[in-house]
Chains A and B, each alone.
Chain A
Amino acid sequence: MKTFSAVVALLLSLTVIPSTLADAPPDDGLPPCCRKDLQPGKPLADGSIYQLESKWTSDVGREVQLRVLRGKPQIVVMFFANCQWACPLLVHDLKRIEAALPDDRRKDVGFVLVSFDSKRDTVEALHAYRLKNELANANWTLLRGNPDDIRELAAVLGVNFREDIPGQFVHSNLITVLNREGEITGQVKGLNQPTSSALELLKKADAK
């Protein structure tokens, strides 16, 4: 019986190996945040934002640290789900960038939305946002956190924000491109910028 299990395990592992060897992680239906750390063990670069110890919750309710995003370039935007004005445009900008990526590249770039609103953007609210905006599981990570950690991440990204009236945040419109190690490659300021700026930054992120 033992030998039989071992053989089955071996066969199973053999069938799994090819997909784990591929560059792109397996599309197991989970958002990138909830897969395993892509490069565990290797020390982080001095300027990597993945040094932050803060804990976040994804829209599938998984508690993660930002370093789970390591291993792929990530495009990060801070937003809030109730935002009527700029955030839909920001997310639209990200979707335009996603669409403009070459087909073979699309799986290799992550998109991260981090909410300002720790009160209203619950796991459920974020998940509803994902569905409403048709954000594919394979590429998009939606995160919520506590106010201090949100303030800290914003400070690291150079995003300024303030809760103006309850539930309404005034905030920078800033798209940040992180390289595979979580270092800031560059940022796109403002709305409706040509996708070429972000694509250029992604190329730069690759070079490192």
Chain B
Amino acid sequence: MKATFVMLLIASHISWGATEGSCPTNMVQVPAGAYQPLFRAAGDPETRQVDSFRMDPSPVTNGQFLEFVRANPRWRRSQVKRLFADEHYLQHWAADFDLGSTQPDQPVVWVSWFAAKAYAAWQGKRLPTVDEWEYAASASPTRLDGRNDPVFQAALQRWYSTPAPEVLPRVRLSVPNIFGLYDLHGLVWEWTSDFNSATFTGDSRSGGGVDRQFFCAAGSIGAKDTADFPAFIRYGFRSSLKASYTVHNLGFRCAKSLSETTTQKLTNGNADIQNQHPSTQNKN
């Protein structure tokens, strides 16, 4: 069993290596699959299906975001409207077009949801949904279901309980997960298109979930796995955000639906992954 995973890992790395060499910003095609959401309605299936989609291998960097700001005056620090970004927008830069001591290959932070969305649209892409992000992030470097990977779990617990460092590391210093995606954990939090889909208030970890005074809910929503501390932290963090907020350790990466792209053949690595994953049998 272990051998299969190692083989799989090597196979996937070879193919990713080839694409990255030619173009470092190539998106990764994440095969269809399923993950176990933290919150679900009573009577919902245990897992949620996610269609195949493309995702940037790493978060958008300061250097990339600077290009966007240059091309789109309304997203300059000095021009942005308060509705679309709070007063801390890009505050780690020295000026509109001056990164100051910030490095171009660090992930961009202090960006609002609107800014992230506008960047993605400028690239002909979009932000990933919560489902897509959580599904992609549930994989470990060696396994599709990272919950069964004790090393990965230990690393997650460490990162999610440690405050962000003063100086953020560069992107892609970590080991990619089995899909070839870097930095989903351990670097920055990331915006999702439907970050405001979380519907619980305060610390509802103990079960109840939806506060019926504040939310209209047809079925009762409860946390699936209250022991999944990292997931709980992510859902809690997202639910505390507003679209104009900018935060010192919140960045983003882009995604794209397969239908929006020119069809590209699945790499061998991906095909292997698909064959391995029990929940993808009916897809494609």
Contact present for B83 and A172 (CB under 8 Å): no
A165 to B239, CA, bound (A): 20
Contact present for B83 and A164 (CB under 8 Å): no
User: A190 and B199 in contact (CB under 8 A), knowing A151-B193, A170-B221?
Assistant: no
Asked whether A159 is an interface residue with its Cβ less than 8 Å from the other chain, the reply is yes
User: A160 and B239 in contact (CB under 8 A), knowing A49-B83, A154-B196, A165-B41?
Assistant: yes
Q: Residues of B contacting A190 with CB < 8 Å?
A: 213-214
User: A170 and B196 in contact (CB under 8 A), knowing A47-B82, A51-B81, A164-B41?
Assistant: no
Contact present for A164 and B198 (CB under 8 Å): no
A109 to B197, CA, bound (A): 30
**Among B83, B193, B214, residue most surrounded by chain A Cβ atoms (within 10 Å):** B83
Contact present for B199 and A161 (CB under 8 Å): yes
Q: Residues of A contacting B194 with CB < 8 Å?
A: 151, 162
Identify which of A32-40, A56-64, A83-91, A138-146 touches chain B.
Answer: A83-91
B48 to chain A, nearest CB (A): 12
How many A residues, CB 8 Å from partner? 33
Interface SS of B by simple majority:
loop
Contact present for B217 and A85 (CB under 8 Å): yes
Contact present for B196 and A161 (CB under 8 Å): yes
Q: Residues of A contacting B113 with CB < 8 Å?
A: 155
Task: Annotate B193-211 by CB proximity to A: 1 below 8 A, 0 otherwise.
Answer: 1111111000000000010
Asked whether B243 is an interface residue with its Cβ less than 8 Å from the other chain, the reply is yes
Contact present for A170 and B199 (CB under 8 Å): yes
Which of chain A's residues 136-190 have a Cβ closer than 8 Å to chain B? 151-152, 154-156, 158-162, 164-165, 168-174, 189-190
User: A156 and B82 in contact (CB under 8 A), knowing A161-B197, A170-B217?
Assistant: no
Which of chain A's residues 83-122 have a Cβ closer than 8 Å to chain B? 83-87, 90
A46 to B79, CA, bound (A): 10
Asked whether B1 is an interface residue with its Cβ less than 8 Å from the other chain, the reply is no
Which of chain A's residues 43-89 have a Cβ closer than 8 Å to chain B? 46-49, 51, 83-87
Closest to A80 in B: B216
Q: Residues of B contacting A47 with CB < 8 Å?
A: 81-83
Contact present for A172 and B219 (CB under 8 Å): no
Contact present for B197 and A85 (CB under 8 Å): no
Contact of B199 among A48, A165, A171, A191 (CB under 8 A): A171
User: A160 and B198 in contact (CB under 8 A), knowing A46-B83, A155-B243?
Assistant: yes
- A interface list, Cβ under 8 A from B: 46-49, 51, 83-87, 90, 151-152, 154-156, 158-162, 164-165, 168-174, 189-191
